[in-house]
Structure 1
Amino acid sequence: MIGPILYWNVRGLGTSRGRLKKLVKEFKPKVFALAETFVDDSKMGRLMRQLGLEEGSSNQLNAGKIWLLWEKNVNVTIVRMSDQFITVKVLEGDLALSITFVYAKCYYGLRRQLWRDLQEDVHSNDPWMILGDFNVIKNNEEWKGGSPCSRIALEEFNEWINGCGLMDLNYNGNNLSWCNGQEGLERRREGGLENLAFKMKRMKQVLRRWNKEIFGHVKLKIKELEWRVESLEAILQGDYEAEVEQDLLVSKIEIDIWQKREECLTAQRAGIKWLQEGDNNTRFFHAVLKRRQQNQVTKMNKPDGTAFNTPEAIHEGAVQYFQEFLSHKAEGEPPYLSSFIDQAITEDENKNIYKRPSMEEIWQAINSIPVESSPGPDGFGSGFFKACWAIGKGNVEEAIAEFFEGKQLPRYYTASYVALIPKVQ
């Protein structure tokens, strides 16, 4: 019998590695599919080593979002893939099983190509299992809250299920779920909050690549320009040429631009906002960064005398501590303090707190945040939103509207950092 097969829409690999390790340890999957890692598949090898899965593939070259990992002793052959699915054949002895891992498009018009592609695989004689995130439901009974799903989308999905002769597998656990990625035929809702979070994560992935390939090579670019200036000055010492002089002036201007970029980059990394830009603070910023690197926690002592000695153990220990600390219920009734508080807000003002803000009010709120303020865990500060307001204001307005409607906040917005500060003797 072919061993356990898992599929998980992780909605960002960065915060999910710990849970991935726990899943692999608990279920020991032979084949593991991940969707929406938001990481380039060049990083797949590192994850495979961490999870103990030796083989892998992805549909990134097809503009897809699925990673597929499996054990070396499992005979897996990639049969077909597109931007919305990967189909493999798994062999174990005389048993052959075709498996299709799906991450479907959000818009039903784009899913039609997926239904057509998979319809072509019906004629195979092997058992066929399809699992993943279809971004659609069979009927509105699989949905709670929000607007009903598109009738056309439901009809086309059911036509495809019936045309392929598919049937639901039995399952354990909740009938409905509220994860950012659902498996099989469970509920899936993409609203303004989740849509904005998704686009921000995609933007972050692109910016990381841009920083790595272009902007991040600031020092190298400055050295190249300095060498160029020295060469041009040497030429002018021997024989004056107007074109060489013009090239020299342009090169000096470029050095100035790149030096400002270097200062901006290191200032953002250091998180210092009380020094003025242009004061040649780069050395100071580097000193701040170096001091912070020296303040890293490399060992954590426990009350029983043992210690956590690896970054992974320290991480798990810190998470466990705060989970227990924050889940502890206080004993006794909280003190009644209303008599000590003056009523400073009128009833009308209290009602306006729940009123959806206008676009002008949103823009004023963003403008009130200093550009140099430290960004949140997502890395985007107010300066980013100000510079890209013309492009992203629609998504921001939609997300804020959902917030004031009382929609559940995705984990992307509620996540934060817990920094461990080492004790000093």
Structure 2
Amino acid sequence: MADISASVVSEAVGARFASNFIFKPAAGTRGGILIACSDDFAVVLDPLASCDFFITGTITDRSNGSSWSMTAVYGPQEDSDKIIFLQELRRIKTMVLPEWIILGDFNLIKSVDEKSNSNINIRMMGRFRRTIDELELKEIHLNGRRFTWSNERENTVHCKLDRVLITQAWELSHLQYQLVPASTSISDHCPMILKKMQIKHYSGFRFEACWASCHGFLDIVKKSWTKPVSSNDAVRKLHTKLSRTAAGLKKWYKNLQKETRLQEDIANEVIFQLDLAQEERELSADERLLRRFLKARLLGIAAVERSRWKQRARLSWIKAGDANTRFFHLKANGRRRKNHIPALKSDIGIEVTDHEAKANILHQHFAKLLGTTGHRHVGLNWAALNIIPANLAHLEVPFTIEELKSAIFGLYSEKAPGPDGFTGLFYKKCWEIIHLDLLKAPYAQLFKDLWEAYGHQISA
């Protein structure tokens, strides 16, 4: 982050404040800090706190009125000042909003691999890590670069001195953001740009595990699955049934969500009124029964929502009841940020960031690797090799319903064995409805092959 020098505008708790920006003037070429926003999108309020090494302000989004705190830092050079700097950061935690972001040049590293030589202050590094833990902050990973500063000398030293730290509340309110580097230009620091990821949402079908526990699930599957299909091709028939079932389930759950939200609002309002009445008098037996019923209903709705986010978080090692929805939400967001590819370079060195251009580069790359099908001009004379043919007639024997059932019930419940989006849980829950069509389909052998290859390594 570049050094900033500015003239004095007005004084406010140690920092300067002007129309929609706050700053701390530089001392020569060092120590300048600026927080500024576009008038069209946000408002910067008066500084909350300030010291020699940072300023903190409140940012208010004009579009929705939400507010969050931002602290911009310029870390000191001397070890004694670094200790004071970290103490001041701890002190302001009680002053800022739950949604808090800290960014800038910390002049500190938190691990050995953040510096290119062995001249490291282990004790100061430990203090920095403890401060991050005490403030309950997490770092947004910088894509594309390991270091953010270099001394630009012959024996170059690289360090990661600049970073962006956020609270869980800030991450939950600002989903799908990534941190990317820019050219150092005239500075010895690498500018970092925090921007929203360009994500192309999957428009296909994905079966959600929570559907299987919702009332009316099997009825919708049976209604969609048993519709007549005018085709004698078993594979096309099965494909049509799966497609119809997917469409029916999506429509059913969309309507179910509307009803659930309405029920949740009504339940909360009735419980609130009963809470108020309880402060003035004893509730009747029927009122207490109603209150317990509504609370149980809300717990059920919360459990379904937690199950949905657990599936999106892809955490197979933890049970849904062992963590709350926010935990799974954060993990899902972190996985999305980690798996996102911010940019790709083509063979001629052009870097692209938009989704379609990245897709074209990947297609061209793998098409070149796989090559094209050629015409064979020579063949093998199998008769001259005197190889005794193997009797593979048993491979053509139709498999039984017991074999198919064993293969399906051996699949992992939260994984989809094919590209149709239906997980193993769907096939297990709907076995009595769908098994006859699975038995008729020629590619049902796939389930048996999957079980033989992987079934003994996984649990249902």
For this structure pair, what is the TM-score category when the shorter chain's length is used for normalisation? 0.3 to 0.5
Q: Decide which structure has the larger Cα Rg and report it.
A: 2
Q: TM-score, normalised by structure 1?
A: 0.42
Q: TM-score, normalised by structure 2?
A: 0.39
